[in-house]
Amino acid sequence: MTSAHHVPVLADAVARLAAVRPGERWVDCTLGFAGHALLLLEAGARLWGVDQDPEARAHAAELLSAHADRFTLLPGNFRDLEALLRDADVPPVDGLLADVGVSSWQLDQAHRGFSFSHAGPVDMRMDPTRGETALDLLRRLEVPTLAGLLRTYGEEPFAGPIARALKTWAEGAGPHDTGAMAAVVQGALPRKAAATRTRHPATRTFQALRIAVNDELGALEALLDAIPRVLAPGGRALIITFHSLEDRLVKRTFAGWTKPAAAPRRGLPPPPDAAPAFALLTRKGETADDAEIARNPRARSARLRGVRKLTDAERRAA
Indicate the helix (H) or strand (E) that contains 65.
Answer: none
Which of 196, 214, 232 is the last residue in one of the domains? Answer: 214
**CATH number of the domain that residue 180 is part of:** 1.10.150.170
Whether 92 and 229 share a structural domain? yes
What pLDDT, in 10s, does the model give residues 167-177?
999 999 989 99
Q: Please check the confidence at residue 113 and state whether its pLDDT lies above 90.
A: no
What pLDDT, in 10s, does the model give residues 263-286?
566 766 666 667 899 999 999 999
Which of 158, 183, 214 is the last residue in one of the domains? Answer: 214
Q: Please check the confidence at residue 2 and state whether its pLDDT lies above 50.
A: no
Please provide the DSSP assignment of 230-264 as one string: HEEEEEEEEEEESSHHHHHHHHHHHHHHTSPPPPS
The number of distinct structural domains making up the chain is 2
Whether 224 and 184 share a structural domain? no
pTM flag (> 0.75): yes
C-alpha torsion sign, points 284, 243, 230, 95: negative
Residue 20 and residue 26 in contact, taking contact as beta carbons nearer than 8 Å: yes
Give the chain's radius of gyration (CA, Å): 21
**Phi, psi torsion values for 233, nearest 5 degrees:** -55, 135
Q: Please check the confidence at residue 262 and state whether its pLDDT lies above 80.
A: no
Comparing CA positions, the residue from 242, 123, 246, 115 lying closest to residue 176 is 123
What residues contact 57, with CB distance under 8 A and at least 6 apart? 31, 51, 73, 75
Domain that holds residue 265: 3-99+216-317
Residue 304 in any domain: the answer is yes
User: Prior bond to 175 cis, omega within 30?
Assistant: yes
**Phi, psi torsion values for 287, nearest 5 degrees:** -130, 165
Whether 227 and 92 share a structural domain? yes
